Amino acid sequence: MEPEDAINVLGGPLEGCSTDPLTGFFRDGHCNTCAADQGSHTVCAVMTAEFLAYSKYVGNDLSTPVPQYRFPGLKPGDHWCLCASRFLQAHDEGCAPMVNLAATHKRALDIVPMRVLEQYDIDA
Protein backbone atom coordinates (compact mmCIF):
# COMPACT_ATOMS: atom_id res chain seq x y z
CA MET A 1 0.00 0.00 0.00
CA GLU A 2 1.88 3.04 -1.27
CA PRO A 3 0.52 6.56 -0.90
CA GLU A 4 -0.22 8.49 -4.08
CA ASP A 5 1.77 11.60 -4.90
CA ALA A 6 1.49 13.97 -1.96
CA ILE A 7 0.09 17.00 -3.82
CA ASN A 8 -2.48 19.35 -2.31
CA VAL A 9 -5.54 20.92 -3.96
CA LEU A 10 -3.51 24.09 -4.59
CA GLY A 11 -0.96 22.12 -6.66
CA GLY A 12 1.85 22.29 -4.09
CA PRO A 13 3.38 19.74 -1.71
CA LEU A 14 0.88 18.24 0.74
CA GLU A 15 1.40 19.82 4.16
CA GLY A 16 0.84 17.96 7.41
CA CYS A 17 -2.65 18.00 8.88
CA SER A 18 -2.13 16.80 12.48
CA THR A 19 0.17 14.67 14.59
CA ASP A 20 -1.78 15.35 17.81
CA PRO A 21 -4.14 13.65 17.33
CA LEU A 22 -2.34 11.56 14.73
CA THR A 23 -4.49 11.55 11.61
CA GLY A 24 -4.57 10.26 8.05
CA PHE A 25 -5.38 6.98 6.34
CA PHE A 26 -1.74 5.96 6.92
CA ARG A 27 -1.69 7.59 10.41
CA ASP A 28 1.29 9.66 9.29
CA GLY A 29 -0.20 13.08 10.05
CA HIS A 30 -0.97 13.76 6.38
CA CYS A 31 -4.17 13.34 4.35
CA ASN A 32 -2.44 10.95 1.95
CA THR A 33 -4.49 8.38 0.07
CA CYS A 34 -4.21 5.26 -2.07
CA ALA A 35 -6.49 2.82 -3.87
CA ALA A 36 -7.20 1.01 -0.58
CA ASP A 37 -8.55 4.22 0.99
CA GLN A 38 -12.19 3.61 0.12
CA GLY A 39 -13.33 6.65 2.11
CA SER A 40 -10.87 9.09 0.49
CA HIS A 41 -9.62 10.53 3.82
CA THR A 42 -8.27 13.56 1.97
CA VAL A 43 -9.83 16.71 3.48
CA CYS A 44 -7.85 18.31 6.34
CA ALA A 45 -10.65 19.77 8.45
CA VAL A 46 -10.72 21.71 11.71
CA MET A 47 -13.28 20.09 13.99
CA THR A 48 -16.17 22.11 15.42
CA ALA A 49 -18.73 21.09 18.03
CA GLU A 50 -21.42 21.43 15.36
CA PHE A 51 -19.63 19.16 12.89
CA LEU A 52 -18.77 16.56 15.55
CA ALA A 53 -22.44 16.43 16.62
CA TYR A 54 -23.51 16.12 12.98
CA SER A 55 -21.01 13.34 12.28
CA LYS A 56 -22.23 11.42 15.32
CA TYR A 57 -25.85 11.93 14.22
CA VAL A 58 -25.14 10.44 10.77
CA GLY A 59 -23.37 7.43 12.27
CA ASN A 60 -19.69 8.29 12.62
CA ASP A 61 -18.92 9.20 16.23
CA LEU A 62 -15.58 11.01 16.07
CA SER A 63 -15.73 12.42 19.60
CA THR A 64 -15.74 9.20 21.65
CA PRO A 65 -12.31 7.64 22.32
CA VAL A 66 -11.72 4.11 20.99
CA PRO A 67 -8.56 2.97 22.84
CA GLN A 68 -8.19 -0.35 21.00
CA TYR A 69 -7.64 1.66 17.76
CA ARG A 70 -5.51 4.25 19.55
CA PHE A 71 -8.19 6.82 18.73
CA PRO A 72 -8.35 9.58 21.37
CA GLY A 73 -11.70 11.03 20.30
CA LEU A 74 -11.78 14.44 18.68
CA LYS A 75 -12.69 17.80 20.17
CA PRO A 76 -13.33 21.21 18.62
CA GLY A 77 -10.12 22.68 17.24
CA ASP A 78 -8.54 19.32 16.38
CA HIS A 79 -7.39 18.90 12.78
CA TRP A 80 -8.45 15.62 11.15
CA CYS A 81 -8.38 13.97 7.71
CA LEU A 82 -12.06 13.66 6.84
CA CYS A 83 -13.61 11.52 4.15
CA ALA A 84 -14.26 13.80 1.19
CA SER A 85 -17.84 12.53 0.81
CA ARG A 86 -18.61 13.25 4.50
CA PHE A 87 -17.25 16.76 4.09
CA LEU A 88 -19.44 17.32 1.03
CA GLN A 89 -22.45 15.88 2.88
CA ALA A 90 -21.81 18.26 5.80
CA HIS A 91 -21.51 21.16 3.33
CA ASP A 92 -24.86 20.21 1.81
CA GLU A 93 -26.37 20.15 5.33
CA GLY A 94 -24.84 23.52 6.26
CA CYS A 95 -22.41 22.33 8.94
CA ALA A 96 -19.10 21.71 7.18
CA PRO A 97 -15.95 22.55 9.14
CA MET A 98 -13.16 24.85 7.95
CA VAL A 99 -10.36 23.21 5.95
CA ASN A 100 -6.62 23.60 5.50
CA LEU A 101 -6.27 23.60 1.69
CA ALA A 102 -2.48 23.17 1.81
CA ALA A 103 -3.02 19.94 3.79
CA THR A 104 -5.97 18.68 1.68
CA HIS A 105 -4.96 16.05 -0.90
CA LYS A 106 -5.70 16.75 -4.57
CA ARG A 107 -7.80 13.53 -4.74
CA ALA A 108 -10.44 15.33 -2.64
CA LEU A 109 -11.27 17.16 -5.89
CA ASP A 110 -12.59 13.87 -7.31
CA ILE A 111 -15.50 14.31 -4.88
CA VAL A 112 -15.59 17.93 -3.67
CA PRO A 113 -15.46 20.83 -6.15
CA MET A 114 -12.66 23.34 -5.51
CA ARG A 115 -15.23 26.19 -5.28
CA VAL A 116 -16.81 24.37 -2.31
CA LEU A 117 -13.47 23.76 -0.55
CA GLU A 118 -12.51 27.42 -1.03
CA GLN A 119 -15.61 28.51 0.93
CA TYR A 120 -14.10 26.84 4.03
CA ASP A 121 -10.45 27.89 3.64
CA ILE A 122 -9.01 28.61 7.11
CA ASP A 123 -6.48 30.96 5.51
CA ALA A 124 -9.06 33.06 3.62
CA distances from 68 to 36, 79, 104 (A): 22, 21, 27
Residue 67 CA from chain centroid, whole number:
21
Query: pLDDT (tens digit, 9 = 90+) per residue, 25-53?
Result: 999 999 999 999 999 999 999 999 999 99
Q: Please, which residues have CB within 8 angstroms of residue 103's CB and are 6 or more apart in sequence? A: 8, 14, 15, 16, 17, 30, 31, 44, 79
Taking only the tens place, the pLDDT of each residue in 78-87 is: 999 999 999 9
Residues 6+ apart with CB under 8 A from 85: 39, 40, 111
Lowest mean pLDDT across 3-7, 56-60, 88-92? 3-7
Q: What is the pTM of this model?
A: 0.94
